[in-house]
Amino acid sequence: MGTVTTISLLAANLKPTPILDCGSAEIQAVAQRLRGAGYTGRTFAQRAHILLCEVLRPVYSVNERQPASTTLREKRGSCSQRMACLEAVARAGGVPTRVRALQVRGSFWFPRFRLSRPFIPKKILLVWPQFFLAGAWVDFDELHSPIAKLAESSEGFTNDAESLFEAVRQSPVDFLGKTCGLACAKPSQDLSPYVVSDMGFFDSRDEVFERFGSLQDTLRGRLFEFVFGGRSSRD
């Protein structure tokens, strides 16, 4: 594929959207802070992720259509809201992003909600980011290290302490079965059995919610937001 064609195809993966408002002053300020001579797209995205882990407090929320700039201003966000922030900052820094839509069993979140499982539906839509780095799409779970290296150093993600957004720095968060067959892997690292269906790739998370809706649109979601919205997910 020629360079001109590639740039044309990636234009949709760089433009601002209502959620990924990468042209906002808040997002642009973060991108400007992270820019530096000699940085690659991967370095920029990694530094953006580390910074957002530091400045955004993890909380529960199902308001997945919240603009990334709002999350930055409030200095807190759910995993989905913080992933949207990372995508928006990446786009502001010239790194194209897209997402993969996965339906994940609600039981994946049971360790966090042992006494309030009625709030958790049987299936939850997970919008998983990808970043276009060095000519290839890279999953969020491998932004910092290849999955094989992560599998060597961690038991896996248990969803009962740190969040998905933070864990990808040092743990295999393996919804796609990448650890299957790795000599260094442990059965607990493979999260793919929780995935009910894979709905494919989309240029933005906005497109996913427009097509499939969001938990925030349901009565269960509104009740969840009323009871848990804004509470620290580290409690």
| Confidence category of residue 8, pLDDT binned at 50, 70, 90 | low
Please state, in angstroms and rounded to a whole number, the distance separating the CA atoms of residues 102 and 170.
22
Q: Domain for residue 234, yes or no? A: no
| Confidence category of residue 3, pLDDT binned at 50, 70, 90 | very low
Q: Domain for residue 113, yes or no? A: yes
Q: So what's the pLDDT on residue 12?
A: 93
For the segment 33-54, the average pLDDT, to the nearest whole number, is 90
For the segment 72-80, the average pLDDT, to the nearest whole number, is 96
Q: Which two tokens stand for residue 157?
A: 């993600």
* Number of domains composing the chain: 1
DSSP state string for 20-82: S-TTSHHHHHHHHHH--TT--HHHHHHHHHHHHHHHSEEB----TT--HHHHHHHTEE-HHHH
Domain of residue 194 covers: 3-228
Q: Domain for residue 109, yes or no? A: yes
Q: Domain for residue 207, yes or no? A: yes
Q: Domain for residue 193, yes or no? A: yes
Please state, in angstroms and rounded to a whole number, the distance separating the CA atoms of residues 48 and 153.
23
Tens-digit pLDDT profile for residues 90-134: 999 999 999 999 999 999 988 887 767 777 889 999 999 999 999
Q: Domain for residue 235, yes or no? A: no
Q: So what's the pLDDT on residue 4?
A: 42
Tens-digit pLDDT profile for residues 159-205: 887 899 999 999 999 999 998 888 777 888 999 999 999 999 999 99
Q: Domain for residue 101, yes or no? A: yes
Q: So what's the pLDDT on residue 115?
A: 67
CA 59 to mean position of chain CA atoms: 14
Q: Which two tokens stand for residue 205?
A: 């998370």
- CATH number of 83's domain: 3.10.620
Q: Domain for residue 147, yes or no? A: yes
For the segment 137-166, the average pLDDT, to the nearest whole number, is 90
